[in-house]
Amino acid sequence: MFDAGAIVIFISYFRLLTVPDCSYFAPARTAGTAPDNCGVYRERSGMAKAFTASRYARGRILVALLALTLATGVRAEEADEPKQEQRTAAPTAAPADAAKAPAGQKGGGARGGGQAAPAAAAAEAHRLPPDSTTKHTLALPGRSLSFTAVAGSIRLFDDKGEPQADVAYTSYQLDGADSGTRPVTFLFNGGPGSSSAWLQFGDAGPWRLSITGEGAIASASPDLLPNAETWLDFSDLVFIDPVGTGYSRFVSTGDDVRRRIWSVDGDVEAVSLVIRRWLEKYDRLLSPKYVTGESYGGIRGPKVVHNLQTKQGVGVRGLILVSPVLDFRDWSGSSILQFVGRLPTMAAVAREAKGPVTHKDMADVERYARGEYLADLVKGQADVEATNRIADKVAGFTGIDSAVTRRLAGRLSVGEFRREFDRKNGKVTGRYDASVTGFDPYPDSNYGQFGDPSGDALMAPLTSAAVDLTKRKLNWRPDGSYQLLNGAVGNAWNFGRGQSPAESVSELRQSLALDPKLKLLVAHGLFDLATPYFATRIVLDQLPAYAGPDRVKFVVYPGGHMFYSREAARKAFRGEVQALMK
């Protein structure tokens, strides 16, 4: 009934009435020189110097403070009781349990703080529902797969045990397999701010949504069909939606939490911890483990692998990067390497417009980009002869009028190429896939005011497919909106500033050096202007000899950023992934 703190304070006050006046309240005394029992009293009251020596005065103050203390204790008990009920009501099997922090994180089970109750209430208000486990059998050409799907979340805590975020995941585990020897692959997309739906429904998951041709329009039906190219045949799959994407969300209301997690390093810590927590929850620490990242996943992926190796105590067999960016330093601003990295993609788009093209067909452009083009770029625009030479050569490779390439000194930006390539027909190319064109909504404007015909149209069908699968087929029903691509995350992201923009090549080198058995598979699309394949080729060529072809494989397919939208590329890439895991 009575708070223990109130009883302690009552005893302290009672003792106060019986001590000599001058021993404790002389103005010359300080907390450091007073006897122990006086020091304890001062720490509790904080007002020792303000009292007089009168026992009568102290008695009156005692009565008032004791009444206040008892009343506060009762209110604290009343405030704590609902919080205890919430913890009891929470499903004990849910990985997002707020009452007990997981291994490796300090728990938040303490009672009684006046600040803890609002924090707990806020966390409960944002909590995702308990995990949902469902059984499925997938009929595919020549085989059927029976598997267990789990749609759920993992809660993250800070070092004080306060809940920070719930990270949603969707996992698929093949029934009847030996978990000790069967691989498990963790997959995420990029953005920052992108959910994992692109990889799940476009490439590796058990169900697939067509995102090319008639399926690549906003009003396309979001029907999911069995995916004959799923990776589930040879690996269990865990699709992770980083905080702010999919249904993943912050449960803390503090801005400092957002600043920490929506950053290069904070994101890596969060994703790495989710992977370790999932392995612990499902007893899969002995399984061969693989990590797959797309786009900005090229920054996140190598850093996550290195974090798992060195901080989480989790070894990784292989890293698979899909259309990655590995280093932001040389592909923007005033760096001339950005033009070298883009030219083969622009030339491939021009050749694709005349007929099918493969990576091998681009060897001449790659040689020119590495050699004469780079040499003439280094000479600078003041060298008129060199500038005109590269401008005319670029016009020949890309099909863009030489008057335009000369005006731009043979240095085409992505936006300029996209608008100029088919401007005569009032069309612009895609950024994710420049072989896809769409109408320019303002063809006569002096400024580019167009979206991405190869990406924007996919937002509606992919979002609808993700929500339908989660709520109807997997029977998991979070509140709030599903975020396929959350612009707020990218706008708030801390990429690093000054002399250290985001790059993952350092961690890639370290991880490959640390584990001589770690393998890397990098795949790109020929027509991708978001992350041009040749830019990645240049970066990979700078790796040391220990990262040779036997450990690092680079493949390029006809297609864009999501090259797996094309059936031939999807089949070929699946074969490469399966070979990596054998």
Among 88, 111, 133, the domain boundary falls at: 88
Instruction: Tell whether 432 and 471 lie within a shared domain.
Output: no
Kindly state the average pLDDT of the residues 528-549.
Answer: 96
Does pLDDT of 10 surpass 50?
A: no
pLDDT, position 37: 33
Q: How confident is residue 95, by pLDDT bands cut at 50, 70 and 90?
A: very low
Instruction: Tell whether 291 and 154 lie within a shared domain.
Output: yes
* Nearest residue to 408 via CA among 396, 390, 424: 390
pLDDT, position 499: 65
**CA pair distance 521, 185, nearest whole angstrom:** 13
Q: What angle do CA 247, 249, 251 make, to 5 degrees?
A: 140
| 49 within some domain | yes
Instruction: Tell whether 577 and 446 lie within a shared domain.
Output: no
15 contact partners, CB below 8 Å, separation of at least 6: 37
80 against 302, higher pLDDT: 302
Burial class of residue 99, CB neighbours in 10 A (0-12, 13-18, 19+): middle
Q: What angle do CA 413, 496, 374 make, to 5 degrees?
A: 35
> pLDDT tens for residues 192-222?
999 999 999 999 999 999 877 777 778 778 8
| 134 within some domain | no
- Beta-carbon-side half-sphere exposure of residue 127 (alpha carbons within 13 Å): 22
Which helix (H) or strand (E) segment holds residue 411: the answer is none
Q: How confident is residue 121, by pLDDT bands cut at 50, 70 and 90?
A: low
Enter the tokens of residue 37. 């029992």
Enter the tokens of residue 231. 């990776």
Kindly state the average pLDDT of the residues 18-27.
Answer: 35
Does pLDDT of 24 surpass 90?
A: no
Q: How confident is residue 97, by pLDDT bands cut at 50, 70 and 90?
A: very low
How many structural domains are present in the chain? Answer: 3
In angstroms, how far apart are the furthest CA atoms of the chain? 102
Instruction: Tell whether 284 and 272 lie within a shared domain.
Output: yes
pLDDT, position 119: 56
Instruction: Tell whether 166 and 296 lie within a shared domain.
Output: yes
Instruction: Tell whether 433 and 343 lie within a shared domain.
Output: yes
Among 407, 427, 455, the domain boundary falls at: 455
Residue 209: left if φ>0, alpha if ψ -120 to 50, beta else—which one? beta
| 22 within some domain | yes
pLDDT, position 456: 84
Q: What angle do CA 471, 473, 476 make, to 5 degrees?
A: 35
pLDDT, position 562: 95
Enter the tokens of residue 555. 């493949």
pLDDT, position 554: 98
| 230 within some domain | yes
| 99 within some domain | no
> pLDDT tens for residues 414-447?
999 999 999 999 999 999 999 999 998 888 887 7
Instruction: Tell whether 402 and 543 lie within a shared domain.
Output: no
Task: Give the domain range for residue 432.
Answer: 337-455
**476 near 468, Cβ under 8 Å?**
no
| 133 within some domain | no
Instruction: Tell whether 376 and 469 lie within a shared domain.
Output: no
Neighbours of 183 (CB within 10 A): 21
Computed over every residue of the chain, the mean pLDDT equals 82
Does pLDDT of 47 surpass 70?
A: no
> pLDDT tens for residues 253-268?
888 999 999 999 999 9
193 contact partners, CB below 8 Å, separation of at least 6: 244, 245, 483, 485, 486, 487, 488, 489, 490, 493
Among 72, 88, 104, the domain boundary falls at: 88
pLDDT, position 125: 64
**CA pair distance 207, 176, nearest whole angstrom:** 20
Burial class of residue 275, CB neighbours in 10 A (0-12, 13-18, 19+): buried
| 103 within some domain | no
Q: What is the CA radius of gyration of the chain?
A: 31
The model's pTM: 0.79
Instruction: Tell whether 446 and 491 lie within a shared domain.
Output: no
* Nearest residue to 328 via CA among 158, 500, 93: 500
Does pLDDT of 244 surpass 80?
A: yes
Which helix (H) or strand (E) segment holds residue 250: the answer is strand 249-250
**CA pair distance 148, 207, nearest whole angstrom:** 14
**CA pair distance 96, 88, nearest whole angstrom:** 14
| 97 within some domain | no
Does pLDDT of 135 surpass 70?
A: yes
